[in-house]
Amino acid sequence: MGGPLTSRDGQVRLRPVKVAEDVATAVAWYRDPVVLWGSEGSTEPFTPERVARMYEVLAARGEVYIVEVQGPDGFIAVGDAALSSVGVPIVIGEASWRGRGIGRQVLALLIARAQALGLPELVAHQIYADNRASLRLYEGAGFRVVSGGEEGGRPFFRLRLPLEGPESADAGSAPALL
Ligand SMILES: CC(C)(COP(=O)(O)OP(=O)(O)OC[C@H]1O[C@@H](n2cnc3c(N)ncnc32)[C@H](O)[C@@H]1OP(=O)(O)O)[C@@H](O)C(=O)NCCC(=O)NCCS
């Protein structure tokens, strides 16, 4: 796991998650029906333990970040994102920060990180067909639908982005993406 990833303009930062400290903030995001329905396909609120377990599962398969944006008094946490073998999930948990281009910047940072690590591709395994913001986000970054499926009668797509190889030589070793 490397350090924080920061957008060129310095307004958006992906900071490696600190599970024990970040769960208290993140649990509010996973009580929002929009987040739960968009990312989990259910509206059952998460407990703090479930949020911690989710971060630990993702961290075991890649890298997990807290999405931060520059506020008047420094960075504030607004969501989370991961670069993992089980997908490239992004959640802007604070509703007031959705639809303002943060997700697009987060995905660009994750793609650059994956390229720097020399990963051959990124796959978004389960994007619900009715999640227009999510589909636009991934397709806008160049991901293309490669297959589809259905969960509980709700269609989803699997999208893939082939990558070009390392952009920088100082990326360090690749994370354990299983
Ligand atoms: C999906 C999500 C990550 C997108 O991040 P965001 O910061 O809100 O999105 P952005 O402002 O960067 O916009 C990305 C694209 O989606 C479009 N978009 C944003 N909100 C939208 C909405 N409510 N309906 C339709 N399109 C929308 C934007 O216009 C943009 O497309 P464009 O570049 O073609 O104009 C965020 O809205 C979110 O966390 N939603 C709830 C949880 C979720 O569904 N996560 C995804 C699970 S994989």
**What residues contact residue 42 under an 8 Å CB cut-off, 6+ apart?**
36
Q: Rounded to an integer, what distance in angstroms lies between the CA atom of residue 81 and that of residue 43?
A: 20
- As a whole-number percent, the residues of the chain with pLDDT over 70 amount to 92
Q: What is the pLDDT of residue 86?
A: 78
Q: Which CATH number fits domain 5-162: 3.40.630.30, 1.10.3720.10, 3.30.70.1380, 2.60.40.10?
A: 3.40.630.30
Report d(CA 110, CA 64) in Å as an integer: 10
pLDDT of residue 164: 80
Domain map of the chain by residue range? 5-162
Ligand 1: centre distance to CA 170 (Å): 31
Closest of 50, 46, 48, 70 to residue 58, by C-alpha: 50
- The pLDDT assigned to 10 comes to 96
What CA–CA distances, in Å, run from 96 to 29, 101, 153, 170?
Answer: 12, 12, 30, 36
Instruction: Specify the pLDDT at position 136.
Output: 98
35 vs 21: CA distance, rounded Å = 21
Q: Tens digits of per-residue pLDDT, 90-130?
A: 999 999 999 999 999 999 999 999 999 999 999 999 999 99
Ligand 1 atom with the smallest distance to the CA of 139 is 34
Residues with CB under 6 A from ligand 1: 34-35, 38-39, 89-92, 98-104, 127, 131-134, 136-137, 140
Q: What is the pLDDT of residue 141?
A: 98
pTM here is 0.93
Q: What are the residue ranges in the chain where pLDDT is below 50?
A: 168-176, 178
Report pLDDT for 35: 98
